[in-house]
Structure 1
Amino acid sequence: DPTFGVGTTSFTINSGGALFQVGPDVNSNLQVNIGVRSVVASRLGNNAVGFLSQIQTGGPFSLIKNEAGQAQKIVDEALNQISRLRGRLGAFEKNTLDTNVNQLGITMENLMSAESVIRDADFATETSNLTRNQILVNAGTSVLALAQQTPQSILSLLG
C-alpha cells in the first residue's frame, strides 16, 4: 500500500522500551533501541526529594501533614522527569523515525519511477517493432503489385 505511513510516525512504547528496524536488512547494525523508564507514581521523583506516591493521604508527604513544600518539590521533580522523557522520545521520533520514513518515501518514489521507465521502454520497443513490421508488409505488398504488372506490361508491348 503506497499510502501506508504517509504523514504518520506516531508510535506507542510499552514494557520499558522498543526496538526499531531502521534499515533494509535485519541485523543489529540497522536497529535502534530506545529504553523508557517506568512512569508509575512510585517511581516518579527520587530518593532525595521523595516519590510521587508518597504524597497520597497517609503518606510521609501528605498535604494533610502540612508538607506542601516537599510535595511541590516532588511534583516538580516528577514533571522534570516526564518532560525529559518526552523530549528524548520526541527527539528520537524526529531525528530517527521521521528521517527513515522520509527516506523510505523517497526510495518508494524512485522505485515507482524506475518501474515507469522500464514499462515506457518496453512500450517504445514494441511500438518500434510494430512500425518496422508494418513497413515490411507494405514493402512486400508493393513488390507483389510490381511483379504482377511486369508480365502485363510485356504482353501489352507485344500485342
Structure 2
Amino acid sequence: MKQTPLRDMPCPIAKGLDRVGEWWSLLILRDAFYGVSRYDDFQTSLGIASNTLTRRLAALVDEGILARCAYSSRPNRYEYLLTDKGRDLRPVLVALLAWGNRHYAPDGALIELADLETGDRVDPVLVDRRTGRSLEQGVRLSDGPSADEALRDWIRRGVTL
C-alpha cells in the first residue's frame, strides 16, 4: 500500500516525516550515527532486505541526509556518510532513544547516554538554544514567515506542544 505524501502539508513535522518517517530510514540513520557506512554493514546490522535497503539509502541520499561516496573503484563500492542535514537529526534520535527507554524498557534502560568527558549518565532534555531553558513544560506554536492564512488561523486557536 502506498503512503500518502506528507511533504505538501503546511507542517514541518509532516514534511520531516515524509523524508525520514519510515522506520527503516530511522534505523539506517541510527546505524550511521553509530559509525556504520557501508551497504553490507547496514544489511548485516539491520537484517534488512536488499531491495528495501537500496530504496531507503537512495531516498536518504536524494534528500541530502546521506552522501554516497566511492571508496573503491575495482569493484565499485560506496559508503554512505551523514551530511550536515543528516547530523542535524542527532537530537531527534537522542530524544527517541530516551523516550523508548522511558516507556518501553520496564526493566531499565537498554542503552544509556554518557558524557564523553566524564562518562556520567546523560538524561537528554529539549532546551531552547538561545536561553537554555527546558521545553519540558511545553511551548505554544507561533506562525512563521511562510505560513499561509489557513495555517495562521489554525495556530491562533492556541495550539501547544
TM range (shorter): under 0.3
Q: Normalising by the residue count of structure 1, what TM-score does the alignment of the two structures yield?
A: 0.21
The structure, 1 or 2, with the larger RCO (C-alpha pairs under 8 Å, 6+ apart) is 1
Higher helix share: 1
Q: Normalising by the residue count of structure 2, what TM-score does the alignment of the two structures yield?
A: 0.20
